[in-house]
Amino acid sequence: MNQPGLLDLLSFGPEGWARALLAGAWMTVLIAINGYLIGGVIGTLGAWAKLSGGQTLRVVADAYTTVLRGIPDLLVIYLLYFGGSAAVTSVGRLFGAEGFIGFPGFLAGSLAIGITSGAQHTEVFRGAFRAVHPGEIEAAIACGMPRWLRFRRIIAPLTLRHALPGLGNVWQVVLKESALVSITGVAELLRQAQVGAGSTGLPFDFYLIAAVIYLGISSISGGVLRQAERRFSRGVRRG
């Protein structure tokens, strides 16, 4: 029996894997978006702690970024997935449940990526805030702007403008890290490619297709981020 060709694998027919691969690609995007947003929230708090918090908050934030930037991302996923499963199983036994209760792989992966990317977000936001010229903030204070209005109209837009290039790089890293979530059994793109490779005996074909899909997602999202960067940079003189 002849093995299916590349076009057959990409079809929606009986031998095609198009639906499974597209579903996996969508799951990859969802995991990456969730992890990125979680990391953004953590990074905002971390940057605030480093810039305007007390000594205790700065120590905690420094420890967080140091530890998370030094631990492999895959290890963080393992810790959250198996540690979360152990915790959920223990809680379940308190309510009479029997057996092992697995922690949802999607949730574990999203949290792990969010926690690891949060360290990168922290440094991006911290550097972006420091890039805001003090004179612009002083001018807002001189005009009598209240603190919240000053933050909303001056500090936040300028910080975001300076942060966008770094945030784009963090997104690309997060997108690639989403492939690690396949170890929890979540049917994201790499997992679907692994299943397809095992079922058909065509590993090179499936991994090549997965690479092209990853590249497509990365290129499209990168283009969106570049458009946002250009929009926020309108009217800014470049040296």
pLDDT of 173 reads 93
pLDDT of 12 reads 80
pLDDT of 148 reads 83
pLDDT of 47 reads 93
pLDDT of 81 reads 92
Q: Cα dihedral angle (90, 91, 92, 98), rounded to 10 degrees? A: 20
- What is the rounded distance in angstroms from the CA atom of residue 158 to the CA atom of residue 229? 12
pLDDT of 235 reads 53
- What is the rounded distance in angstroms from the CA atom of residue 156 to the CA atom of residue 168? 17
Residues in the chain, pLDDT under 50: 1, 238-239
Give the CA distances from residue 96 to residues 12, 82, 87, 103, 227, in Å, rounded to whole numbers and listed in that order.
Answer: 45, 21, 15, 18, 54
Helix (H, G, I), strand (E, B) or coil at 58: helix
Q: pLDDT, tens digit, for every residue of 2-49?
A: 666 667 777 787 778 889 999 999 999 999 999 999 999 999 999 999
